[in-house]
Structure 1
Amino acid sequence: MDIRTPPPQPSKYRIPRPRRDAVPRPALLARTLEQAADARLVLVQAPAGFGKTTLLVQIAAALAATPGGEVVWVSLDAEDNDANRLFATLFGALAALDLPWAVPPASVLAQLQDASPAARTALGLLIDALGARPEARIALVLDDLHHVTDAAALQLLDTLIARAPPELCLYVGSRIAPPLSLARWRAGGELVELGFEDLQFDLDAAQALCRQRGLEAPSDEALQAALARTHGWVAGLHLMLGSARKGASLPSLIGPVAHRHLFDYFAQEVLAELPPPLQQFVLYSSVLPELNPALCQAVTGLGDARAVLEALFGRQLFLSALDDTVPVLRFHDLFRDFLRGELERREPGLAAQLHARAAAAETRAERAVPHWLAAGRWSEALAALRQMADGLLAVGGTHRLERWLEQLPPDWREPHADAALLRGLCAWSRWDWVQARDEFQRSHDAFARQGQERDRLLALGMLGACHNALGDLDQAGEVLATAADAQLPPALQVAFDSLRAWNGVARGDSAAVLAGLAAMADNAALAPEARYPNIVDMSYGHFTGLPGTWPLMERLRRLCQSDRLDVVQVPALDAWLAFWHGEPGPARDALQALLQLQRHLPGDVMLSISALHLRSLHLSVQGHSAEALDSITQVFDTMTPGYSRGWRRTYVHAQARIHWRAEDADGLAALLPELARPRSAREWPVLDTGAALVQGQHALLRGDLAAARPLLAHAVALQRGGRLPAFMGDARFALAACLAGLGEPDAAAAALDEVLAEAVQDEGLGLLLEPPGRLQALWHALAPRLRCPAAAQAQLRRRLAAWQADGAPVDAAPLDDPLSAREREVLALLAEGQSNKLIARALDLSLHTVKRHVANILTKLALDSRTQAAAYWHRR
């Protein structure tokens, strides 16, 4: 399964070839480039046919010829009309710059499904990458932005422009004024606006157009009349000049009927003058968003499509050349709209057949889907969606997939197994396990009726995962039993291996956990495409530290590291393993890397929970209980409703362990009502073990050893058949402490011996992260009675002392600090009271660059003034 951004479409990212009859506009071009030097945004806004793209092409050519100038071009279309898709297109275009990404672009893209705060934070990674090359001047051209109307997409684009580094300027072409922060940038002198008044042709331009087209120039009076009748409209002048060549009379192109007249002109003057074969070619090809030889041949049936395209471009039709070599052309929007209308008038219903031909010839599923939908070929559209769904969901394309599904007729879509499966996957990606369960059940039943066994098993594996997450463990077990006798390929088996391991955690069945992890590693090694999401999205803390899991988790880590697509999640596994192993330096470094990712990608629920949870454990070990509790509290804020439904009490137990380690009886008592209440039928059995443990620990902290003993003994008994995730604690140490206090040293030694034996076997210190005062005293008192070899005990003591003595902080910056390293430098000097000029001199930056950094700092921190920014810095 490919979790990268979709492969680039070169034609979207190529600057269109200038038309041979394009009129140079040196004065307009020079003025625009001069004003753009200090701008965030250059907006070229005018109705269709005023030459927006032509001007942007000329601007791009001038910028590319400037030393240090880099130009990135994007031709937008209707398929870019959602936040994730828009930025997938931008990332594809920016790939040519080879930016120094701190996080793989696919992981950033997965966060950009909406305009949430998490998405805006993740966008900072793109902004930092763009600003990491101060010697460059990057021009990002977005042509035809009017195709993007999605509010979330435009809000994210607004954020990108507002926070853009000084090295970046956006050039936008649009028929309408986009709903961006234009007023703010206009007031700040950071917006250059070109309207139809700027693009209107004057007499000199009209004369130049005649020369470019090889026409004998009409008199100045005739041209002035034409300019008056068209209001300098470039498309209108092209038409009028073409008609004047034949001496035809001209209708008025002014007023509300202008477009109707224009269309008449297209029919009369452009289409009619083509030979009949070419007329059919352009009419049939109008169903294509882009014209290339392969697709045109499929749609028209002509074998010489390449030659025909070259001939069409040579006729100076309303076409843009996106790629000279293939070639790839695009009709002007107005011309394409006319041709589609004319096609329907001449041959009603034929467009659907042409769309079907185009879809069948498309090599990329995402380009085929709109054609299948337009053709009304629902089965083929759904098959294409199924083909691309995994890769699309992996990079956050949930909304796009759902939007396409909604275009299928409801009465056809609802009973269809593939549609239900895809809706289930979309719900799963949002942690909505209830909806996902219902959709997977519906798809499973439909696949079973149709005899589609592989698909039935795929739906069954996802259904079992939902049951497990929702606490329906018996039903999850039935799923595992059903699949046990099936001979599944490795790529499909991994999902059931993962379910087996998770079901083992939920039940406290260590043997099932080990068997599931081992099988998962074996099958994932054979099927790399199955690593996402079965390994990459695992909550590693639930497995790390359980007896025997160490080598298996190490193997899974190596599998993830061997696949660069999964690199974002590898730090979570690195950090958990280093922490549990008790390696202070590597554990701290791994946690820092994990926290940095969490700050950049707060929309990744699993990543955030892993980072914040592990941070709380680090802080607890260092004796910072208040900070540790604050970190674990943030975990609850991070949980989605679906996630919280299954796992909230698990993390309340993690909170309880912090109180236990700090020997805070009152804090632990406050959690008992939630942790000690009877488990519902849908909650995980391990919670029974946890409830007995925390009640016994609380009694022990109060000094009520008589009450603590039966509770802890019961917890140990439950633990033997229902092992807790290691981060929740271990009942055997607390029982040993209780028994020692009651004057039963031999029994206490036996309980402690089990803990030490596991620590030696797994070479891990996690089980020894108990209250340090109690642990050391108990260990010293029981040492002569312990069966654990003295040398092994001494090694554990040395490692534990080094681990607990390491007082280095686990955070290099505040958790909510979104600033880049350069912005922090600017803020530090600003907080000292230095002016922009002094900051520029100290950091060897231009004054303009400093101003942009200060503006970005205020934007990122949601502050209104330099004074507030200085106060923020001093609070750090």
Structure 2
Amino acid sequence: MDLRTPNAPASKYRIPRPRRDAVPRPALLARALERAADARLVLVQAPAGFGKTTLLVQLATALAATPGTEVVWVSLDAEDNDANRLFAALFGALAALDLPWPVPPATVLAQLQDASPAARTALGALLDALGGRPQARIAIVLDDLHHVSDAAALQLLDTLIARAPPELCLFIGSRVAPPLSLARWRAGGELVELGLEDLQFDLDAAQALCRLRGLQAPADDALQTVLARTHGWVAGLHLVLGSARQGSGMPTLAGPAAHRHLFDYFAQEVLAALPPPLQQFLLHSSVLPELSPPLCEAVTGRGDARAVLDDLFDRQLFLSALDETVPVLRLHDLFRDFLRGELDRRAPGLAAELHARAAAAETRAERAVPHWLAAGRWPEALAALRQMAEGLLAVGGTHRLERWLEQLPPQWRETQPDAALLRGLCAWSRWDWVLARDEFQRSHDAFARQGQPRERCVALGMLGACHNALGDLERAGQVLAMAADAPLPAALQVPFDSLAAWHGVARGDGAAVVAGLAAMADNAALAPAARYPNIVDMSYGHFIGLPGTRPLMERLRRLCQDEVQVPALDAWLAFWHGDPAAARAALEALLQLQRQLPGDVMLGISALHLHSLQLAAQGRAAEALAVIAPVGDRMTPGFSQGWRRTYVHVQARIHWRAEDAEGLAALLPLLSRPRSPREWPVLDTGAALVQGQHALLCGDLPAASALLEQAVVLQRGGRLPAFMGDARCALALCRAAQGALDAAAAALDAVLAEAIDDAGLGLVLEPPGRLQALWQAVGPRLRCPASAQAALRRRLAAWQTPHAPEAAMPPDDPLSTREREVLALLAEGQSNKLIARALELSQHTVKRHVANILTKLALDSRTQAAAYWHRR
């Protein structure tokens, strides 16, 4: 499985080539590798120029040569300074390992926006993947972590290290001590620290450096003097030896803190020693984070960049090779800082032009954006953001996109419809439909004024979706009418097809639902890139069970087979159209995904919603109600204002199935009140249905008859989403109770015919005693063929077979069955060794399960985990 994003250069994940003058440090390497065998973190921390990267390269090379050890490398830079981007880089490095991912890595990445408990829980999938190959030891090297200061990113990294399986060790290089749990790991003997004292050169190392650079070593006392002046600073020694090679004697350096002296020295000794064309090449290329031939040619205007880069590396300047064959070089941070300062001194204002050249030559929009921003080229930066936005949002890059948008000048940004469109997409990804609606409206109006019909259509489609979600169906209908006036290409038509289907559900218009789904499937097949965010929105159960939707939903399911919402669609289809075993298996897959990705609000709502209906179908009403109750807490404010009552109707259906008149009565004040402007018209049907059901449970047959008849009439023009119930079943029961068997048979006949035609059981998954008694009473009067009835009865019988209750755990508990077993023994106070013996596991596996338990429950200790178990 390829985890690498198309925007990340492959050189980011390559171990840099060792420098020709890199001094071997066998004693330091041996000591570090020996201690790393039992560590979770090896931290190489020292100021710039002390050889951190060189040491990490040597460690990585030694580890890679060790049987059973796999090494991945990440060269971090300023663009990795948020949680999502940091882990995107990490996932990219892990691509080479072919790990057994329980959840698609892009799906996990979409959860990693901050350091919330949901994000920490999502790390469980990464930990499972890393621990899925216990026969291999994995070393992850993160070089230059000092570029990452984002608190959420570092908190998530801390969680990953703290919960890492025994097979994993992280190696980090940083100028500063990162704010991780270093004290805890130090106390536990799980931290290896290599600092300035370890990296400083001694006399032997300085002599070795001279030999590697082809120099005659100075006398020992002279070298000792240089070592004292430089404090063993590797960069300083390189400078001194370079000066000695030029015959200018030994300079006096004040030490690594004297950056001004260092920069002056670079100007006087290193840069000035190069031919003027090479000086200009380096100065102009200093705007690049990595020096590759195509980009260097773009910024310098030279056609021989490949040869120049080889020449520069051969001169043993402050460069590392990230790719030997291309080549791709990386300037040492200190050298790059100096070159950029010198560029501004020699040619004020030229850097902006060079950034613009680099941006224009970049083939990856994500790497072009920082250049356009640095160049002050706001229109080009915004165009690049627009190009990459949907792909970035699909993997959870909302914060990164917003951070870039904020770097645009506010006064200019507020006049740009593309900026409003992107802000609307960011708001949509958080289900903030009010903000999204306002931004899409602004962008639509501006695109219309500027005569950009294609962009106007994009904004219009998203605007209509917001109107629908907010219950403003009049405006949603107006959007559909506007779109109908202009034939659109398939990619632009898909959002309007999706809107047509949702608009049909909102109004209870079954024909519109089928037409919208059919058109969307046709156009999405022609434009696969149009799946996000439209097709994935089909997975929430609102379309399942409506007449004519089954083949269309199955087709859409095939079209979006790689999307995270596929298990939700699979589970709904299996529940409505399959047998209990298939439905339970599909539901378990969905629940497992929901546990691993608690940050996905809609996936969680869909999972709990369907889980409650399946429990109710098995006659387990109390458990079903416990499962559906937390759904309201998962809704964002904008979502809950218009949709809460839809899901309360699911609770009402469970009370109806359980013949719980008192529980149903408690919901009536909410479900029977007039609709707000943000609620769908189908709630009128629902209000009449639940009032009629309550009257029937209370034995008030006249009131029940009137209300249910009204619900059936409303249902003809305003069909409820099938999971909310069907008025015809309740009316058939009412008519039978009144002795009007012909009328009862007519109502039941309509339901049976639809179930048989649709091959779906959802409409007739009523309590067995109630349905069988009704069926028996009106059987001779039914027009439905006897053979079809018999086939339907056989399928229903499978659902009526008692099923063993599930273990009593909180409905949103994220743990797997094995993790619950480990937690139960942990709560008894048993050690990892005893748990391993009891469950026939290795101690390493138990340790990994304990780490996953703490991560998924967002806890910090075994004591907290034990308390959680006892509170459950």
What interval of TM-score do these two structures reach, taking the shorter chain for normalisation?
Answer: over 0.9
**What is the DSSP-based 3-state SS (H/G/I as helix, E as strand, rest coil) of the residue aligned with 2:560?**
helix
Deviates more, 1:568-577 or 1:145-154: 568-577
Distance 1:144 1:771, change over 3 A: same
CA contact (8 A) 2:3 2:95 kept: no
CA distance in 2, matches of 1:630, 1:820: 19
- 1:312-391 mapped onto 2 (5 Å cutoff): 312-391=312-391
Partner of 2:668: 672
Partner of 1:473: 473
* Aligned-residue offset at 1:806: 4.9
Deviates more, 1:424-433 or 1:574-583: 574-583
Q: Which of 644, 658, 670 is the aligned partner of 2:640?
A: 644
* Aligned-residue offset at 1:537: 2.6
* Aligned-residue offset at 1:126: 0.8
Partner of 2:693: 697
* Aligned-residue offset at 1:681: 2.9
- 1:408-419 mapped onto 2 (5 Å cutoff): 408-419=408-419
Q: Under a length normalisation based on structure 1, what TM-score does the superposition of the two structures give?
A: 0.96
CA contact (8 A) 1:3 1:394 kept: no
Deviations 1:752-791 (A, max 9, x none): 2111111111111111122433222111111111111222
Deviations 1:643-698 (A, max 9, x none): 21221110011111000000101111111111011112332100111111111111
**What is the DSSP-based 3-state SS (H/G/I as helix, E as strand, rest coil) of the residue aligned with 1:805?**
coil
CA contact (8 A) 2:80 2:86 kept: yes
Distance 1:571 1:213, change over 3 A: same
Q: Which of 747, 751, 756 is the aligned partner of 1:751?
A: 747
Deviates more, 1:769-778 or 1:104-113: 769-778
The amino acid that maps onto 2:10 is P
* Aligned-residue offset at 1:533: 1.9
Distance 1:856 1:569, change over 3 A: closer
Partner of 2:709: 713
Distance 1:281 1:680, change over 3 A: same
- 1:616-627 mapped onto 2 (5 Å cutoff): 616-627=612-623
Partner of 2:653: 657
Partner of 2:573: 577
The amino acid that maps onto 1:276 is P
CA distance in 2, matches of 1:729, 1:3: 42
The amino acid that maps onto 2:31 is R
Distance 1:37 1:111, change over 3 A: same
- 1:503-652 mapped onto 2 (5 Å cutoff): 503-561=503-561, 565-566=562-563, 568-652=564-648
Partner of 2:260: 260
Matched, 1:798 2:794: yes
* Aligned-residue offset at 1:634: 2.1
- 1:92-131 mapped onto 2 (5 Å cutoff): 92-131=92-131
**What is the DSSP-based 3-state SS (H/G/I as helix, E as strand, rest coil) of the residue aligned with 2:532?**
helix
CA contact (8 A) 1:38 1:848 kept: no
Partner of 2:6: 6
* Aligned-residue offset at 1:802: 1.3
Partner of 2:718: 722
CA distance in 1, matches of 2:719, 2:193: 66
* Aligned-residue offset at 1:713: 1.1
Distance 1:736 1:841, change over 3 A: closer
CA contact (8 A) 2:649 2:724 kept: yes
Partner of 1:452: 452
Deviations 1:464-489 (A, max 9, x none): 00001001100000000111121111
* Aligned-residue offset at 1:351: 0.5
Matched, 1:776 2:769: no
Partner of 1:407: 407
CA distance in 1, matches of 2:204, 2:559: 67
**What is the DSSP-based 3-state SS (H/G/I as helix, E as strand, rest coil) of the residue aligned with 2:380?**
helix
Distance 1:791 1:416, change over 3 A: same
* Aligned-residue offset at 1:838: 5.3
CA contact (8 A) 1:124 1:818 kept: no
Deviates more, 1:437-446 or 1:786-795: 786-795
CA contact (8 A) 1:618 1:810 kept: no
Partner of 2:58: 58
Question: What is the CA RMSD across the aligned residues, in angstroms?
Answer: 2.2
Distance 1:551 1:862, change over 3 A: closer
CA contact (8 A) 2:121 2:857 kept: no
* Aligned-residue offset at 1:245: 3.2
CA contact (8 A) 2:693 2:704 kept: yes
CA contact (8 A) 2:298 2:358 kept: yes
* Aligned-residue offset at 1:869: 5.5
Distance 1:482 1:287, change over 3 A: same
**What is the DSSP-based 3-state SS (H/G/I as helix, E as strand, rest coil) of the residue aligned with 2:322?**
strand
CA contact (8 A) 1:4 1:391 kept: no
The amino acid that maps onto 2:761 is L
Q: Under a length normalisation based on structure 2, what TM-score does the superposition of the two structures give?
A: 0.96
* Aligned-residue offset at 1:582: 4.2
**What is the DSSP-based 3-state SS (H/G/I as helix, E as strand, rest coil) of the residue aligned with 1:71?**
strand
* Aligned-residue offset at 1:540: 3.3
CA distance in 2, matches of 1:705, 1:814: 39
Distance 1:427 1:300, change over 3 A: same
Matched, 1:681 2:685: no
Partner of 1:220: 220
Deviates more, 1:754-763 or 1:841-850: 841-850
Deviations 1:619-657 (A, max 9, x none): 101111111011111221221222212211100111110
The amino acid that maps onto 1:589 is A
Deviations 1:485-519 (A, max 9, x none): 21111111111011001011111111111111111
Q: Give 5+ residue unaligned stretches, structure 2.
A: none
Distance 1:203 1:102, change over 3 A: same
* Aligned-residue offset at 1:441: 0.6
Matched, 1:737 2:733: yes
CA contact (8 A) 1:71 1:139 kept: yes
Distance 1:349 1:835, change over 3 A: closer
Aligned-residue sequence identity (percent) comes to 84
* Aligned-residue offset at 1:709: 1.4
Matched, 1:496 2:504: no
The amino acid that maps onto 2:304 is D
Q: Give 5+ residue unaligned stretches, structure 1.
A: none
Partner of 2:433: 433
